[in-house]
Amino acid sequence: MKLSVREVAHLLGGKIQGDATHLISNIAKIEEATTDDLSFLANPKYEPYLYTTQAGVVLVSEDFVPQKEVSANLIIVKDAYVAFSQLLAEYHRQTYTHPSGIESPSFLSESTQVGENLYLGAFAYVGENVKIGKNVKLYPHVYIGKNVEIGDNTVIYSGVKVYSQTQIGKDCIIHAGTVVGSDGFGFAPQANGSYQKIPQVGKVIIEDNVEIGANTVIDCATMGATVIEKGVKLDNLIQVAHNVRVGEHTVVAAQTGISGSSSIGKNSMIGGQVGIVGHLRLADNIRIAAGAGVTKNVRKAGATLQGAPAFDHKKSLKSYAVYKNLPNLEKRVQELEEKIVSLTPKKKQ
């Protein structure tokens, strides 16, 4: 794909500074780009590369003010990161196409309802009474249990297992190795010390425009539904337990675990390796730093949490400043104790 700087600027609604006729054919990091490449600057720590880059054109935000002369052609946009993501989406659309047709061997139940333009990869299995929308892509070795619903334009990559009764919305992406609808972790302790399994009879509902990373697991509800609301983005290697609800447009980073029956508000951001205990209610627009352990309800919308157990971000930073100085504080206390002892008159025997 070759585009002129003018064509890229038109696509992104940007203003050109430099040669509008220059052609680019690839996308690259700013520190590695050549004259045939387009790159972008969004993070200030990469600004030094702007003055040395060989890139044919660089996207910059309209509020950026260069500190030195820039030799590269520039396209000035409202937000360089957003514009770059739009360009990547267009690049991907033009350079990558999904396979089509039904490959053999694969199994498609006669009772399944299939929309037009289905791709069913080799060794895929689709069970009874499944409803599949238009333009759905099921890659090789996908398993779809009975009574599952899959909306239009959804892509399910190789090795994904979708248990019975699951509902998946439109325009979703589920990456390789993910399991949706497996049993929740429910066991009743018995008098003899053993555990009796509690049947998990609920389901999973995944709403529209959700993306789920590789090897993530979403358990079905004990009763009712585990719900992933519209626009949610889950990273790789995440555990979502039974009866959890993740609010719309929330993003969750890798290796996070959300225990049963907890509810996360909309538009929240959760860092990697966060642990959230069961039966909690977390408000909208919260931020949880990586490695935090959330053990209490968070009722304040917009709160930022850090630490284990997690609490207010600013208080956590202040506490950590004291914590890392504990050896010095201990030494000072010992010195003060010795000084007090030396100044204290000895009692007569």
Catalytic residues, by residue number, are 242
Pairing assessment for the beta strands 3-4 and 287-288 based on DSSP bridges: unpaired
As given in the structure block, the two tokens for residue 222 are 């004990």
Which tokens belong to 192? 């003899």
| DSSP label of 284 | T
Residue 278 to residue 72: CA distance in whole angstroms: 53
CA-closest candidate to residue 142, choices 120, 160, 168, 115: 160
Cα–Cα distance measured from residue 128 to residue 109, given in angstroms and rounded to the nearest whole number? 5
**Beta carbons of 21 and 40 less than 8 angstroms apart:** no
Separation of alpha carbons 171 and 148, rounded Å: 16
Instruction: Provide the CB-side half-sphere exposure for 56 (13 A, CA).
Output: 20
Q: Give the CA diameter of the chain.
A: 102
Distance CA 32, CA 42 (A): 16
The tokens describing 348, both together, are 């007569």
Give yes or no for a contact between 195 and 187, defined as CB atoms under 8 angstroms apart: yes
User: CB–CB of 54/108 below 8 Å?
Assistant: no
d(CA 63, CA 80): 10
Listed in sequence order, the DSSP H helices in the chain are: 5-12, 47-50, 80-95, 313-323, 326-343
